[in-house]
Structures are given as structure tokens and as C-alpha cells.
Structure 1
Amino acid sequence: MAAADEINEATSVTEEEIHPLKTLEELLKWQEPKSCVEEIQHVTQLCSSTCSNSSAHPLTLVCHDMKGGYLDDRFYKGCKNKDAYRFYSWSGVNAFTYFSHSLVTIPPPGWIHAAHVHGVKVLGTFITEWDAGAEICNKILADKSSVQNVVLQLTRIAKYHGFEGWLLNIENKINPEQIGRLTDFVERLTSSMKEVCPNALVLWYDSVTREGELKWQNELNEMNRCVYS
């Protein structure tokens, strides 16, 4: 009986928390959860607003990168620790990215709601790193069908959770023969996101050159412009 209670308790905790997707297999198998639909639907929506990226002033992106994320903020129904997170500068922010080093970082509802209340877009993170990341990218970029499958899943995740886009953080070498498909991936994801959210935003992190080398430019130039969308 005790074992059954432990299983039920573990299941309950899992259903009440949000987690990243750590593998390509997890991403491709993702389906809309049924247990937290009510909490997701109550997140303040921004996609239908008239919010725009165009501005006469520089745009500001805040990247939430705190010990891998998913700490006290991971609960669907709000942070368990009322003193854990305080952010006062929403008026100066145009986009908020929730970041971790897992393959797919899904922003917790609490952050999405807080950002949307202040008219700020929210981005999840898609990241591949080093040798393991290169292997994942090789699988994704193997053909157009693989690219499209990942694009569709990322779009479905963003639509379900109610956030506006993705930070693409590819920090590994890319097979030079697959650079065209990497560009296609960025373009397809941007188009797919805009179909479900006209104000969607997909950002490319500067790390890969047009030859597929992992070499940061710290700017948009002729070495990386081809993979920027």
C-alpha cells in the first residue's frame, strides 16, 4: 500500500510541474498533456494583441538563466515560495527568454503570465551543444521531413503553452552539407510560428558560420548572415 501511495504522490507531483524536454525522442513524441489544460488556458494571452517588434528605440531581451531553471518557478499553479522571484522592470523589456541547457526549454506558466500582463513576449529555448548537439543536429538536418517534424513539434508546444517564439541556440559544428537545411529550419520555424501567432519571434544566436564552424562573430556579418532569418 505504501508503494502505491508513493507512486500516486510521484505522479501527482509530475503532473503539477513543468519540465524541459531533454532528448530528440522526447520532442518528437510530445503530445498535449491532459492534466494541466485548465492552468495553461488561464495564462494571459498575448498572441492576439497588437504588440509589434518595430520600434524607434533599441529592443531589449532578458534571458532568464538561473541554475538550469525549473526551480521554485516550475509549478503550474505558481511558485511555492512567495519570496523566490521578483522582477520589476517589465516596462523596459520587449522579450523574455526562459533558458536552460536542455534541448527544449518550455517557459513555466507563471513567467508567461507575468510577462504577458506587461505586454512582453515570451520565448522558449531550443539548444544543441558540443558533440552531443552535433549528433542531434545531424539527425534533424538529415532531410526535409526531419526538419519539418521538429518545426511542427516546436510550434505545437509554443501554441499549447501560449508563448510567442524561440531562441535558437546552436553551439556545435554543423556538417557543411547541411547548412542549407539549417537555414531552412530557421525559416520554416519562423513561418510556422507566425501562422499560429502573427507576432511570433524566432531569434538566432550567433555561433555557427556559413561553413558550419562553431565560431562566434558577436555580430551579424557575412560569416553568419546566411543562417539568420
Structure 2
Amino acid sequence: MRPAAPIRSLEELREWKPDPETQSAVVPLQTCCYLLSDDGRFCERSPHGSQVLYCHDMAGNYLESDRFHAHTSIFPAFRFTRWHLIDIFVYFSHHTITLPPISWINLAHRQAVRVYGTLIFESVEDEIYKSVFWKPDPNSFDHIEFANRLDLLRRTVCFEGWLLNFEVCFPEVSGFVANCFSILSITQLRPRVDFIVIFVVTKCTYCRGTSESLRQTCLIDAIPSGRTIVYRISYD
């Protein structure tokens, strides 16, 4: 079985192929209708209540202890045992496209916890970022093809959503945001239950000098209907 690995470049994204052995070993997402309260009573789980997202960022991830589908003899290895307290498990790394290892997918699915991969852009020099958003290359992916490829990755690896983390300035606010949310719209067209995209928007995401009213207009007008959660974060 092939060890888990991120996607770091356009070539890796273009050449990526699923591992049939890994696919056949994925545990389906279980369902949980009841929770155990602090006083020992069972209570019905509401789909409309608050949810807890746990973002796993450990020493860059893809460690020897978790990128293989097997029990590990490495000690100490990171362990998480509070699955009943969370709803979403995000496997995070600082590589452009983070695909969760099957070891974490299966652990979470057995506990009825959804698993998300990560798409992160930390530099305008990122090869994928430049090709999709900044300087489109006719011989590479445009934002539509990129969205379809992201959705194919998610469905093939068998996890439930994406955390999109943009830590770069928008090159042209209106066009960039429109393309970005086109990606969200396309990924939501797939018939997948409970598929959610989480888009993290930081203050530094926008071009310097852009008015707040324009920022608000571009963001609000571009948000598609469907299950997209937008978090607005300021580091000031």
C-alpha cells in the first residue's frame, strides 16, 4: 500500500493516480445520532447545533507514524482520543494540497467524524497559485479544471471536505474572488452528503489599498449558495 503524501506541484497534481489497495481499505463514514451528556444521559444529536473542528498540525505531518496504513511501533507518536468531542478532523500541512492519510481517515470515520484535507497558499510564487489565479497558463489548469481536480481527489481518497487557507494577497479582487468561489460552487455540485468547504479569509488576503466596501461587495456577491462556510480572521 502506497504511503500517504501531499501534492506539491502542478506536475504531481497532473500525474496523481489513486492507489487501489488504499481505496479498498477505507472505512466508510459511520453515523452517530446520540451523544452522552455530562450527567450520563443520552441526548439526540442535532445537525443544527454547534460543531467543533479539530485541526491536526503536528511537526509538518506526514510523519513515519501516520503516513502508513498500519499500527506504528514509533514512540512517542501523536495520539488523539477525544473523538466524541469533535465533528470535523482537518489534516493540515504546509504543502499546497494536503491529502489525509488513510490511517486518520479510518480512525475518524469509525467515530462518525468527518475528515477534511487542506489547500493552502502561503506565497504568490507558489506554482499552482500562479497557474490557477495569477498568470493562467493555457497548457496547465485553469480554475475550473483545478476545482474539478480537487473534487476528484476528495471523492477518490474518500474524505468529506476541504479547508481552503489563502495567506496571499488577491491580485485583482473582483476577478480573483469570483474565480475562487467558482471553485467552491463546482466542488459543491457533486452528490456527496455532508460535503462542506471551509474558506479562511484573512485581512491580508485582500490587495493593499482596496476599500472595505469593495472587499465586502466582492466577497458577499461571490459566495455561492450551498454549504460553504466562510471564516473572516484579522491578525491586527
Instruction: Please classify the TM superposition score into its range, dividing by the shorter chain length.
Output: 0.7 to 0.9
Amino acid at match of 1:41: S
Shift of 1:25: 2.4
Residue 127 of structure 1 aligns to a residue whose secondary structure is: strand
Aligned pairs (5 A) from 1:112-151: 112-133=105-126, 136-141=128-133, 142=136, 146-151=142-147
Deviation at 1:57, TM superposition (A): 2.8
8 Å CA contact retained: 1:79, 1:110: no
Q: Structure 1 counterpart of 2:22, which letter? A: E
Q: Which residue of 1 aligns with 2:192?
A: 197
Q: Is the 8 A contact 2:99 2:118 kept in 1?
A: yes
Q: Take 1:114 and 1:92, find their aligned partners in 2: how far apart are those partners? A: 14
Corresponding residue for residue 25 of structure 1: 11
How far is 1:208 from its partner?
6.0
**Counting helix residues as a fraction of each chain, which structure ranks higher?**
1
Choose the corresponding residue for 2:23, options 20, 40, 43: 40
Q: How many matched pairs?
A: 202
DSSP 3-state at the match of 1:186? helix
Q: Are the equivalent residues in 1 in contact too, given 2:8–2:96 (CA < 8 A)?
A: yes
Q: 1:98 aligns with which of 87, 91, 99?
A: 91
Letter paired with 1:104: I
Shift of 1:122: 0.1
* Aligned positions of 1:48-67 closer than 5 A: 55-67=47-59
> Are residues 17 and 39 of structure 1, via their aligned partners in 2, closer, same or farther at CA, if it must alter by over 3 Å?
same
Distance 2:28 2:221 in 1: 33
Give the CA deviation at 1:210: 8.5
> Cα deviations across residues 163-216 of structure 1 (Å, max 9, x unaligned)?
11110111111221332111211222232xxx242221111012267855599x
SS in 2 for 1:74: coil
Specify the code of the residue in structure 1 equivalent to 2:216: E
C-alpha change, 1:131 and 1:61, in structure 2 (3 Å) is same
Deviation at 1:79, TM superposition (A): 3.1
Equivalent residue number for residue 66 of structure 2:
73
Equivalent position to 1:179, from 161, 177, 180: 177
Contact 1:172/1:208 (8 A) holds in 2: no
Give the letter aligned to residue 184 of structure 1: S
Deviations 1:65-113 (A, max 9, x none): 0111011101133434375132121111110000001011011111101
- Specify the alignment match of 1:158 in structure 2: 154
Q: Within 2, Cα distance between the matches of 1:227 and 1:208?
A: 17
Aligned twin of 1:10 = none
Q: SS state of the match for residue 201, structure 2? A: coil
**2:193 counterpart SS class:** coil
Structure 1 unmatched ranges of 5 or more: 1-14
Q: Quick one: which amino acid aligns to residue 181 of structure 1?
A: N
How far, CA to CA, are the matches of 2:116 and 2:67 in structure 1?
Answer: 16
**Change in 2 beyond 3 A, CA 1:43/1:174:** same
Cα 1:136/1:16, change in 2 over 3 Å: closer
2:78 corresponds to: 85
- Report deviation, 1:227: 5.4
Which range moves more in the overlay, 196-205 or 88-97? 196-205
